[in-house]
Each structure stands twice: as C-alpha cells, then as structure tokens.
Amino acid sequence: MDNKPTIIPKGRHLLKYRGTECLNCGHLLDMSDKYCPNCSQANSTKKLTLKDFFDEFFSNLFSYDSKLLQTLSALLIRPGSITKDFIKGKRVSYTNPFRFLLSLAFVYFLMLSFSGDYEELNSYGYKSNGDTLKEVNLNFSSPKEEGEEVLNALDSLNVLITNSKKDSILLADPEKYFNGLNDKPKGNRRYQKLEFFYKLTENEQINNFKDAKEQYNIEDTYENRVAFEVSNSIFKVFQQPGSFATDLISKLPFLIFFFLPVFALFIWLAYIRKKHNYTDHLIFSFHNQSLLFILLIISFIIDAIFEVNSSGIFLLIFSIYLFIAMWKFYEQGIIKTSIKYIFLNTVFFILAFFTALVSITVSAITY
C-alpha cells in the first residue's frame, strides 16, 4: 500500500520507528505503512520530543498556507473555476469553503466592531425621567371615575406608551391596571402588558420578573413572563443602543450560514435544468461570498490607511466578478446569464432585507 507522506520522512517518521499497530486507534499496520489507513495518524513509535513537535507544527502550518494561497489565487484570478474544481473532486488543494467563509466573516465583523465607536452611541440612549410611582400626579380636574373613562378610551385607541396621561393612570395604581388587562382580547391584552412592564422598568427600575410579581401581585404565567422579558429587553436596547449594535454585529457571521442555504435554493431553481445539485450551488455561493468578504476587508484596510471611502468601487468589482463567475461556472449564454443574474440579485437583496429585519427584531426582544 503506497500512502505517500505529507511530512518529510525524518526524525520520528523514519522506518526504524514504525510499528505494527496504530497507537491511536489500534488498527493493525505493516511496516511499510507510513500512516494509519484507518485514522491517518503517522505510524511512529518514537517518543515525541520538542523538536519533533515544532517540526510537525511548522510543516502543517506551511501546508495550510499553501492551501490558503492557492484558494485565494483561484478566487481572485479565476472566477467560478475554484467551484468547478472542488465539485469535481479536486479538494485537497483548497481550503474547506465553509470554514474559509466562516473565518473571513469573523475577521471582517471583528474589524468592524473594533473600529466603530459603537459604545459612544450609548450616550444617546434613552434616559429615564426618574419618576417613581409615589411621585406620580394625575393632574386631572375630573374625578376618579372620569379618569377611568379616559383610560378606557385610550386603551380602545391603542395609544403608544409615550402618552403621558395614560402613563399617569397606569402608574397611579399598577396592580389594578394590570388585573384589568385580563378581560381584554388576547392581541390587545398582550400589547398592553408589554406597555405595562415597559413603564415599570422605566419608572421603577424593576429588572426581573420576580420583583414585579411580588411587588404588584402579578400572576406567574408564561404570557406574563414573556411580556416582561420582551419589554425589559426593548428598554435595554433604547438605553444602550451602542452595546446592542455591537452584540448584533457579533451574531452576523452565524446569520450568514442561515441565509446562504436559503439563497442557494433560489440558485437551484434558476438552474434547475442544469446537472448541478443543491450542494454544488451552495458551494458556489460560499466561494462568491468569500470573495465579497475579501474585497470588503481590503476596502476596509484602504479606508483606514488613506481615510477614503472605497467600498463602492469594491462592490462594483464584486458585481462584475459575480457575473463572470456565473457565466463560467454554469456555462450559459450572456443573455440567459444576465437574466438570471438580475433575478438572483433581486432575490438576494429581498432575502437580505427580511433576514436583517428578523435578526434585529429577534435580537432586540432577546437582548
């Protein structure tokens, strides 16, 4: 069996150190086996020395660098060719598309989060007026019954939480107000519970459901807990918009890997008559998204050094690159490629918009 080594045969890889059983998995070996055919560990019985350790470290490092350089050159110089090579089985020469894209996404968003003065946005965050329930003055010339009628009218109009009169009524007797919400229709009730807990958080600085439950005799139900947690999260977003932005950016690399598989479905639909399967389209999208991040990183560095805005130029370069990649990979005519290019880019931006909207919403209510 001829399993050629990727490590230079010296030191602990010499013939005299080879064994007849893999030290890692116990698979039986021949003396001619340089690597275990079962787990790929090197066949060596020599005790690992510090020199051996660093020899293997640097050989593996240079091997990865070689893959990285070959991947970069193929992406930059030959649009679409790297995906063709990869799906045809030429994979050892290139880095894994998924891992490569994830690494680039982390690098780019890390640069983005460290370079932006997002924490300064916290100074523009919402500041509570400091009022407490004991300090609330209804300031109504009408009697209490008339005040309750005003509250009912405001509720029927679904007035937002910024309405000062409604806030005053709510805060005057929170326990009574909250108990009255249970008789309202489900949709309106849930919205007004969000209002209620938001005002408690704003005025009383109540940061956990246990305190709200004990202080205002609120029933411990799933609906009440969810309403409190959501309103509390939204309040924190308004108070600390910079911290929220930083937290959102940190999640974007993972969001890409939910977005691209969905987008690959539309590529598959656009080229349903071609011989490629879904995985081929996904790999194609991974490679092109990787190229986009490479261009964005280059643009970011240029902007930081020369204090210019080059993002538009690099996005234009990517637009041209993407068209060439589609044309070469799917091997269709210019007109068909142009139509599908416009269709897929339209789908991409629509999906990106809704993904961003959902991401911001979910992040806000779970912050």
- The candidate with the shortest Cα–Cα distance to 62, out of 4, 102, 107, 7, is 7
Record the pTM: 0.67
Which pLDDT tens digit goes with each residue over 237-266? Answer: 887 787 787 777 777 777 888 899 999 999
* Residue 114, pLDDT score: 76
For tokens 């690099």, the residue is 314
- Tell me the C-alpha distance between 101 and 80, whole Å: 16
Neighbours of 204 (CB within 10 A): 19
Give the DSSP H/E element, type plus range, for residue 170. Answer: helix 164-172
pLDDT band, residue 123 (cuts 50/70/90): low
Q: Is the pLDDT of residue 4 over 50?
A: no
Residue 131 has pLDDT above 50, yes or no: no
Q: What mean pLDDT is predicted for residues 110-131?
A: 65
Question: Model confidence over 8-25: pLDDT tens digits?
Answer: 455 677 888 888 899 899
198-230 pLDDT, tens digit per residue, is 877 777 667 778 878 877 878 888 888 888 888
Instruction: Tell me, rounded to whole angstroms, the distance of Cα 149 from its chain centroid.
Output: 47
Give the type of residue at 256. I
CA distances from 219 to 73, 77, 185, 194, 212 (A): 63, 64, 18, 15, 10
CA 364/CA 50 separation, integer angstroms = 50
| 8 Å CB contact between 161 and 197 | no
Residue with tokens 């060596």: 44
For the chain, the farthest-separated pair of C-alpha atoms sits apart, in whole angstroms, at 101
Q: Which two tokens stand for residue 303?
A: 């902007």
Domain ranges in the chain are: 97-119+242-365, 133-239
Instruction: Give the DSSP letter of residue 6.
Output: S
Task: Name the band, by pLDDT with cuts 50, 70 and 90, for residue 319.
Answer: very high
pLDDT given for residue 153 in this prediction:
45
Structure-block tokens of residue 33: 């086996």
Mean pLDDT across the chain: 79
Which parts of 23-143 fold into alpha helices (H)?
Answer: 50-77, 81-87, 97-115
Is it the case that residue 58 has pLDDT exceeding 60?
no
